[in-house]
Amino acid sequence: MDLYYKIGYTGDNYLDKITREDANILTHINIAFGLVDNGRVKINHLKNTEYINKIREYNPDIKIVLSVGGWGAGGFSTAVSTAEGLKQFAESGYEAYKTLGLDGLDIDWEYPCIDTAGIDASPDDKYNFTAMMKSLREILPESAMLTIAAGAGEYFIESTEMAKVQEYLDYVQLMTYDMGWGNKTMHHTNLYGSDKISTKSTVEIFSKAGVPLEKIIIGAAFYSREWQSVLSNDNNGLNQNTQYNVEFGKHYTDLHDNYINKNGFVKYWDDEAKAPYLFNKEKKHFISYDDEESIKYKCEYIKKAGIKGIMYWEHSYDPKRYLINSIKENL
């Protein structure tokens, strides 16, 4: 049987909650987050890294990687804008890798050339992103992993040179969530769907841009996105305008235990998208999320499409392990 990667992002503050069972389901853990400070990878704010060794006792084969960046975490653009800066950034990345006893680094720059998250950005990021990966690959040991988290859409392709970048990477993690934005209800982590971006269309975009299928990891969401004050009950709230913009929603264990077919929230299934959603007609409240069934379909797609595996954001959002168990059963 092929080894499919099962990768969990977890905050540093949750490392002590990783169980033996978790460690033996997952193939990789991405620790969130290292930061960029004055051009260097910063790790001195991380408080629970002593649990890395405990997790390795649970599963000596698991790979533990430091993810650097995250939404709203800047400093990349300025750090790698010069040859001297590139060298300093790569050296500090290597020091973090060595100090923590890691298996690799994951770069989560959201996003090159784009300052939407309030970070520093430049048109030169497109080329400096490639140079960053080259510099890291050259300084890290051959056995060390180097990966990225990539935005799900054409914007990320246009802002990078993925055909070149992928040469330095072990795999590319597609953040196929948060795909529903604005003040119209929609799925935020759908597998399929012809009217907007989907997990499948994102895989196709990256494949066309030069990333081999066997280097692609798709993403699952252990949290929801929600819209309130939906203006119409048509289509059970799906694809309807709303009075307010999308918000970060409830975590999956909370949804499972307190909202799905409870308290006026009715679960619906979009068979084309292979995605669930909740709608409370009285409260005009719409929620998009992944569940055990949509995870199953994502796992089936991984095997059918010939891609490498699945990752999720974020481990602490499902303390009762409903979704990680679906990954275990289906991949």
Contact 29, 55 (CB under 8 A): yes
Question: Is residue 292 flagged as an active site residue?
Answer: no
Token code pair at residue 283: 């409260």
For 118-167, write each residue's pLDDT tens digit: 999 999 999 999 999 999 999 999 999 999 999 999 999 999 999 999 99
For residue 44, the one-letter residue type is N
Confidence of residue 196 (pLDDT cuts 50, 70, 90): confident
Q: Which of 279, 264, 269, 180 is nearest to 221 (CA)?
A: 180
Confidence of residue 17 (pLDDT cuts 50, 70, 90): very high
For 228-266, write each residue's pLDDT tens digit: 999 999 999 999 999 999 999 999 999 999 999 999 999
Going from the N-terminus, what domains does the chain have, and what CATH number goes with each? Answer: 5-221+290-330 (3.20.20.80)
pLDDT at 194: 64
For 27-36, write each residue's pLDDT tens digit: 999 999 999 9
Contact 131, 183 (CB under 8 A): no
Token code pair at residue 207: 């494949």
For 153, phi and psi rounded to 5 degrees? 165, 170
Q: Which of 110, 154, 161, 293 is catalytic?
A: 110
pTM of the model: 0.97
Contact 282, 301 (CB under 8 A): no
Token code pair at residue 83: 């040859």
For 283, phi and psi rounded to 5 degrees? -90, -5
User: Percent of the chain scored above 70 by pLDDT?
Assistant: 99
Q: Which residues of 234-263 are buried (b: 16+ CB within 10 A; e: fewer)?
A: eebbbbbebeeebeebbbbbbbbeebbeee
